[in-house]
Amino acid sequence: MELSGQLLAAILLALAGGYLCGSVPFGLVITRMAGLGDIRTIGSGNIGMTNVLRTGNKGLAALTLLADALKGTLPVLLALWWGRQNGMASYPAMAAGLGAFLGHLFPVWLRFKGGKGVATYLGVLLGLAWPGFLAFLVSWIGCAAITRISSLSALIATIVVPIFLYVLDYERIAVFFLVMSFIVYAKHHGNIRRLINGTEPRMGKKRDQDG
């Protein structure tokens, strides 16, 4: 599709709107509202579900996971509807998804120090290509059942997703998620280092680093 002025404006608007939505630090907001203080002062200092779980409150962790996923899904669905109404295919939706993902990773409200993006990646995936969402879940659950390592399961799942989408002829979206998967890997550099060293903790064990 030719990148017309209208399409470019829609892409930029969707990118900005997605970023603003994705930059809301729900883990921090939820734990503060629950009277647990600043989640960044415990564990890894991360604002995501894994660190919220370290408070011992599984309900708040689940709520954080849901909120971080939905802030990827909702802007994508809105931009997808708008794009289809105006003959712009999925371009605005992908821009909204990328914006939400980057907003979670680099929220302006927290001096650009956000989470690792897996939940928001999953939410964007649900909005753009739900078969990929199912592939992620199956891959994550399968790997987690075998290894009991959450980070490894997420990393494996983000490899499976673009391959699976490409096989299903979601070529454009497969390339999009390949880029996002590279970013997920970059944000998990510490986890990858511990996996190589054999020191990455397994699920259910206490730890001081984010997994």
pLDDT digits (tens, 9 = 90+) for 158-209: 999 999 999 999 999 999 999 999 999 999 999 999 999 999 888 766 544 4
Q: How far is CA 115 from CA 7, 47, 69, 89, 157, in A?
A: 30, 5, 12, 30, 18
* The predicted structure's pLDDT at residue 3: 62
Q: How far is residue 31's CA from residue 64's CA, in Å, rounded to a whole number?
A: 9
Contacts of 125 (CB under 8 A, 6+ apart): 72, 132, 133, 136, 161, 177
pTM of the full predicted structure? 0.90
pLDDT in tens, the chain (211 residues): 456 778 888 999 999 999 999 999 998 888 889 888 888 887 777 888 877 877 778 888 899 999 999 999 999 999 999 888 887 888 999 999 999 999 999 999 998 988 899 999 999 999 999 999 999 999 999 999 999 998 999 999 999 999 999 999 999 999 999 999 999 999 999 999 999 999 988 876 654 443 3
**φ, ψ at 96 (rounded to 5°):** -65, -40
Q: Are 37 and 21 in contact (CB under 8 A)?
A: no
* The predicted structure's pLDDT at residue 176: 96
Q: Where are the domains of the chain?
A: 5-197
